[in-house]
Structure 1
């Protein structure tokens, strides 16, 4: 695997590439980094060009200090600029967690770049906004977003040597079968400890105003769809939705209506996975992606 940097869209983006062939771009979430895709890069890199960046604000990529620099328009522009830097005319986009919210946002704004799109657990932003505004169960499951937007968020996540991420991500994934080596765990924690990285990741929530009603007049939802016309919300390229059915953060109710917005939808459900599918079920995820890419 080769580590590279691209000076794009006002930042320096670190990314990892492997293999050759039809390109696949992987977008990670919070509190992750490019390495959550290592096993997929190894497997799919046997016959594809695979690319996994550290997103803006994470690990070895630039970390702007202003919250506004994490607005969806900048996140989408980063992906477009990276694709242009790599001279990718069309690619498959694979994403989870915040990477999937950016992935959806990119697909809605630049469908001409995307051959097909795979999203793990994250539904269409219009449906997620609906559930955050109207569904009490999803509102309850998303209370953590209000914490993540608060000034206390950094301290909560960094306390006790990053106990939050060690337990809620690494520990939870291992309980569902993730084989995370000591070396990979150390690399993940080192990514969290990069100066400004936790704030960078939290600023995605702050800039998007993502979350349930805040009790102070905020109705809930997000600004991820700002500037889009109603017809832009429909997706006409193939979409694979992968659902780890034990995810307690993202409830199945958000999938209601997905087939109306996505014209070519495939769904794969994994009963014994939760939020961290790329770590918990790497071989199965690679298998599903291969099958999806073979479909005509």
Structure 2
């Protein structure tokens, strides 16, 4: 485990690491992981890019906001734009998985001058998911509704056995087993998600999605991300089984490419080489 650097943004502290040389590429993790998820592909990507991996506010070694509005994707995006600017990167590529992808999408809308390209991994747009929630989607992604319940109900339930809940999340979104996750990375995830403040902040993340982000995204339905964009998704993931993932992005991205990767929602852990190859091919083509 590497000790991160830290950066102050909007009264929050963001933990991050930097590796490699070349055009800057920001990698953002999702729920319930940390920046450590990118470790299996950082060494290969860092041969061509300056890689910045960061913990989203509320996650990992970053600080833990106390209220749901502080966990909006707009503020997560602003954290990362400020971080990258502090490192001398006024413009950069960004790729995100899960919650990190949602923050990256918001970043491309709010800060188009900063984002050279956008890669989103295994998500459909937040507005689309919430507006078109079906019984099957609600069953597969029940955690969206559970975590958004008023404090402290989900926090109390999860706190009785964080490993049981969050490991079930790792396995529950399409074709995964614990063996798909590096043992050292699992140890880091467990350390993070056993923190009561982290549990609370992750619940606030999902509360904010419904209470804040849905409104932001609805306001921006007429806008498209202008930069080149790549949509990656798990071939066997819950979203791919329930929806045409690329089709949900057609009206949101002006210049879109898409690829299915072997695995489920956590395909970067299951298929790191394929994930690296698809991301690198896209970025090197720009």
TM-score, normalised via structure 1 length: 0.85
Could you list the structure 1 runs, at least 4 aligned residues long, displaced by more than 4 angstroms after superposition: 170-174, 228-231
State the SS of the aligned residue for 2:273: helix
Out of 197, 211, 215, the position equivalent to 1:223 is 215
Q: 1:159 to 1:249 in 2, by over 3 A?
A: farther
Give the conservation status (yes or no) of the 8 Å contact 1:127–1:255: no
8 Å CA contact 1:64, 1:200 repeated in 2 = yes
How far off is 1:188 after superposition?
1.4
Cα 1:117–1:161 shift into 2, 3 Å: closer
Query: Residues 254 and 53 from structure 1, CA distance in 2 versus in 1: closer, same or farther, beyond 3 angstroms?
Result: same
How many angstroms does 1:73 deviate by? Answer: 3.1
Give, in angstroms, the shift of residue 39 of structure 1: 1.2
> How far did residue 196 of structure 1 move?
0.4
Of 260, 263, 269 in structure 2, the residue corresponding to residue 269 of structure 1 is 260
Q: Which runs of 5+ in 2 are unaligned?
A: none
Give the drift of 1:254.
Answer: 5.0
1:175 to 171, 174, 177: 177
What do the CA deviations read for 1:44-73 (whole angstroms, capped 9, x no partner)? 012211011111011211112122211333
Relative distance call for 1:173 and 1:77 in structure 2 (3 A) is same
Q: How many residues align?
A: 281
Deviations 1:2-30 (A, max 9, x none): 72111122111111111111111011111
CA shift, 1:41, in A, is 1.3
Gaps in structure 1 of 5+ consecutive residues:
212-220
Q: Distance in 1 between matches of 2:127 and 2:68?
A: 23
Change (3 A) 1:229 1:287: closer
Alignment partner of 1:31 is 2:21? no
Tell me what 2:76 maps to: 75
Q: Out of 236, 246, 260, which is 2:236 matched to?
A: 246
Query: What is the alpha-carbon root mean square deviation over aligned residues?
Result: 2.5
- Between the aligned partners of 2:39 and 2:28, the Cα distance in structure 1 is 12
